[in-house]
């Protein structure tokens, strides 16, 4: 195992993030704050509690997921797309680095950033609404799993994308709708019949539901399903990434 | 074993061995058509060839950046696919294009390269490399603030950060001024003295002539020639003897028609061509016979065909 290479890639990716720290942190924090002000404070004040949780508190897990998904995908996809685009990827490809080490370095760094960001949002939320975390360990576990699996997903997008447009539209076209329709702002029970059943095909529902359970002990779907769904997604992404790197798909000519 | 090799750097043993290598790109273009090539331990090997001949493709396959269609590459005893870790750890690559991380500092990017290749940090080594390449003063500068020639040197420094025993230089001196080019040649020579095997591609024939122990010529994806540089020059090189005559001649005297002579500069210069490799050059015989004919001269010059002329004639022959 070439741990030094993993460390080199990880450090490189983290320093890239720290170089633009203000930018990396400001935009998710500002947008989440806006959500809390608008949905939590302004509208939330007129909404009843859902499953015994105030609306402002209810949307915290969903909002965190929304940010983590976007940031994970954005960070990880850029991390691998940029060297591909600029040509510096030649060095990674010519180094004694296996597919697993490459993943650990790139995806590990993106995951770290997302987890840090999640923590930051949690702290920001405190400013606007009081909340409690019922199962902190599970919360951390969901946070890590989600950050890791979506960073992996972003990594795949970064390899797949052959233009900046593709790099940006996929998260916008796929992830944002899935998150908004994934129960970030409402409980699935609140949807009328055909929509509610359809929603269960949306993988993000399982994420948000599981995550919310770790906060408030209530969920739309059984927690086991959530864990299984994330784990399954994670394994699928790893397998695809492995194939991409080994075959050189859109990495090697 | 390796200690023995280090004290006796240049041997006939192959450090890189390429067998039956072909590459067909996704668009169906066949860039390499069965390359067999051995690079000897400790030598400087110059790979020459016109644009699009397949030099970069060949190097990229050896370094693991491009997948071969068929064939095998063994570097320092390790297959570059099956044993990619060991093979790659021994290889350094300076690519043709200036691909650098614009926002990184020179020092950071070199340290990154060393780690990436699985080597523990060694600031003393990085310092030596940067000093050798006159980059020490720039170590804390971001790469984007450097000139093109400096970026090229940064790429060389990165490639040397993990102390490779095999170094590929893909047109290291393209777009580099004369002074810098000589600096680079010195760096390369120093590396060779320390036992590094160097494979370079270039369009500057003088570079190959100046530096290489052996020369390979690649044309349309095929190696058409591999030869010791000096042998090549002997074999294909022609030498010329130019005599500046006292009296211009209208034509070559019939008595001298059996010699390989030519008149230039409206008859004032007589040029004699002979094989550079031949034992008997025939110069004294020529001078005797000129004396016999009463032809006098006041100056004489000899010159050799350069590698460039050899190369151009080879490429023309095959084209
Ligand atoms: N990705 C690719 N897809 C298709 N053809 C390619 C690709 N890369 C290179 N080629 C073709 O393969 C041939 C060899 O290219 P290569 O870059 O190896 O040449 P080269 O000898 O390095 O040339 P130069 O001296 O210009 O650097 C060229 O005809 C080129 O057009
Ligand atoms: Mg080239």
pLDDT digits 0-9 by tens, A168-213: 998 888 888 888 888 888 888 888 888 888 888 888 899 899 999 9
- Whether residues B116 and A93 touch (CB distance < 8 A) is answered with no
Per DSSP, B81 falls in state T
What would the mean pLDDT of A217-246 be, rounded to a whole number? 93
B184 touches B172 (CB < 8 A): yes
**pLDDT score, position A167:** 94
The fold of B237-318 is Alpha-Beta Plaits (3.30.70)
CA distance A123 to A146: 19
What superfamily does domain B14-233 belong to in CATH? P-loop containing nucleotide triphosphate hydrolases (3.40.50.300)
Residues surrounding ion ligand 2 at CB below 5 Å: B 55-56, 96
Say how many residues make up chain B. Answer: 319
Domain ranges of chain B: 14-233, 237-318
CA B25 to ligand 1 centroid distance, Å: 9
Angle at which helix A223-247 crosses helix A203-216, to 10 degrees, equals 130
CA distance B252 to B180: 47
For ligand 1, atom 16, which residue shows the shortest CA distance? B54
B315 inside 8 A of chain A by CB: no
User: Mean pLDDT in chain B?
Assistant: 89
- Which ligand is in closest contact with the Cα of B65? 1
Residue B317 has pLDDT above 60, yes or no: yes
Q: Which residues contact A28 (CB under 8 A, 6 or more apart)?
A: A67, A70, A71, A117, A120, A121
- Closest residue in B to A101 (Cα) is B116
Q: Which residues contact B135 (CB under 8 A, 6 or more apart)?
A: B106, B150, B153, B154, B157
For ligand 1, atom 24, which residue shows the shortest CA distance? B51
CA distance B118 to A3: 7
CA B201 to ligand 2 centroid distance, Å: 8
**SS3 of residue B258 by DSSP:** coil
What would the mean pLDDT of B230-241 be, rounded to a whole number? 78
The pTM score is 0.87
**pLDDT score, position A94:** 97
Least confident piece of the model among A49-63, B24-38, B90-104, B128-142: A49-63
- The percentage of residues in chain B with a pLDDT greater than 90, rounded to a whole number, is 61
Q: Which of A8, A12, A94 sits opposite B65 (nearest CB)?
A: A94
For ligand 1, atom 19, which residue shows the shortest CA distance? B52
Within 8 A of B167 by CB-CB distance, chain A residues are none
User: Mean pLDDT in chain A?
Assistant: 91
CA distance A213 to A228: 15
Name the token pair of A144.
């890590």
CA distance B241 to B215: 27
Q: Which residues contact B194 (CB under 8 A, 6 or more apart)?
A: none
Is any atom of ligand 1 closer than 6 Å to the C-beta of B96?
A: yes
- Which ligand is in closest contact with the Cα of B218? 1
- Closest residue in B to A246 (Cα) is B67
What would the mean pLDDT of B23-49 be, rounded to a whole number? 96
- List the alpha helices (DSSP H) in chain B: 2-7, 55-63, 84-89, 106-116, 123-132, 148-160, 178-193, 205-211, 229-236, 283-293, 307-318
Q: Which of B67, B88, B103 sits opposite A95 (nearest CB)?
A: B88
Angle at which helix B148-160 crosses helix B123-132, to 10 degrees, equals 140
Do B237-318 and B14-233 have the same topology in CATH?
A: no
- Whether residues A98 and B117 touch (CB distance < 8 A) is answered with no
pLDDT digits (tens, 9 = 90+) for A126-156: 888 888 899 999 999 999 999 999 999 999 9
pLDDT digits (tens, 9 = 90+) for B25-37: 999 999 999 999 9
Residue B3 has pLDDT above 60, yes or no: no
Least confident piece of the model among A73-77, B117-121, B271-275: B271-275
The interface pTM score, or ipTM, of the predicted complex is 0.91
Q: Which residue has the higher pLDDT, B118 or A128?
A: B118
pLDDT digits (tens, 9 = 90+) for B181-193: 888 889 899 999 9
CA distance A107 to A84: 16
Residue A96 has pLDDT above 80, yes or no: yes
- Residue appearing with tokens 């300076």: B94
């Amino acid at each position: 195992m070439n741990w030094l290479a993993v460390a080199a890639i990880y450090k490189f990716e983290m320093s890239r993030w720290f170089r633009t720290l203000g930018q990396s942190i400001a935009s998710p924090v500002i947008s989440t704050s806006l959500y809390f002000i608008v949905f939590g404070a302004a509208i939330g004040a007129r909404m009843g509690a859902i499953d015994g949780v105030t609306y402002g508190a209810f949307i915290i897990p969903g909002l965190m997921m929304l940010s983590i998904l976007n940031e994970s995908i954005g960070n990880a996809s850029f991390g691998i797309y940029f060297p591909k685009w600029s040509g510096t990827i030649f060095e990674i490809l010519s180094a004694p680095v296996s597919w697993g080490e490459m993943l650990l370095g790139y995806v590990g760094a993106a995951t770290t950033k997302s987890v840090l960001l999640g923590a930051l949002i949690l702290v920001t939320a405190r400013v606007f609404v009081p909340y409690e975390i019922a199962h902190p360990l599970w919360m951390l576990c969901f946070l890590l799993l989600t950050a890791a699996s979506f960073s992996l997903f972003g990594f795949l997008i970064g390899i797949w994308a052959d233009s900046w447009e593709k790099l940006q539209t996929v998260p916008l076209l796929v992830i944002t709708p899935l998150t908004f329709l994934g129960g970030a702002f409402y409980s699935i029970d609140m949807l009328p019949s055909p929509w509610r059943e359809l929603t269960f095909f949306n993988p993000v529902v399982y994420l948000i539901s599981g995550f919310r359970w770790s906060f408030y002990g209530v969920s739309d779907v059984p927690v086991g399903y959530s864990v299984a769904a994330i784990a399954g997604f994670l394994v699928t992404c790893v397998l695809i990434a492995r194939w991409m790197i080994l075959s050189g798909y859109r990495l090697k000519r | 074993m390796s200690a023995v090799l280090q004290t006796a750097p240049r041997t006939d043993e192959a450090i890189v061995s390429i067998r039956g290598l072909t590459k067909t790109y996704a668009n169906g273009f066949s860039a390499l058509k069965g390359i067999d090539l051995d690079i000897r331990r400790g030598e400087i090997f110059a790979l020459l060839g016109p644009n699009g001949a397949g030099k970069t493709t060949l190097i990229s396959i050896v370094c693991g950046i491009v997948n071969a269609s068929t064939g095998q590459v063994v570097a320092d005893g390790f297959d570059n696919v099956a044993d990619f870790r060991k093979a790659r750890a021994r290889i350094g690559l300076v690519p043709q294009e200036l691909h650098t991380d614009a926002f990184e500092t020179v020092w950071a990017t070199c340290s990154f390269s060393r780690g990436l290749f699985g080597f523990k940090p060694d600031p003393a080594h990085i310092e030596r490399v940067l000093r050798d390449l006159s980059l020490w003063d720039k170590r804390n500068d971001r790469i984007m603030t450097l000139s093109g020639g400096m970026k090229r040197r940064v790429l060389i420094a990165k490639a040397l950060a993990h102390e490779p025993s095999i170094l590929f230089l893909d047109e290291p001196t393209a777009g580099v001024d004369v002074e810098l080019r000589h600096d680079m040649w010195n760096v390369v020579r120093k590396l060779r003295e320390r036992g590094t095997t160097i494979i370079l591609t270039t369009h500057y024939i003088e570079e190959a002539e100046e530096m290489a122990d052996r020369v390979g010529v690649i044309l349309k994806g095929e190696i058409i020639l591999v030869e010791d540089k000096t042998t090549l020059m002997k074999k294909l090189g022609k030498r010329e003897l130019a005599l500046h005559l006292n009296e211009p001649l209208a034509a070559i005297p019939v008595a001298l028609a059996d010699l390989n002579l030519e008149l230039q500069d409206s008859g004032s210069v007589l040029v004699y061509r002979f094989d550079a490799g031949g034992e008997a050059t025939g110069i004294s015989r020529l001078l005797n016979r000129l004396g016999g004919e009463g032809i006098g001269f006041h100056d004489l010059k000899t010159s050799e065909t350069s590698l460039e002329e050899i190369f151009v004639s080879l490429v023309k022959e095959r084209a």
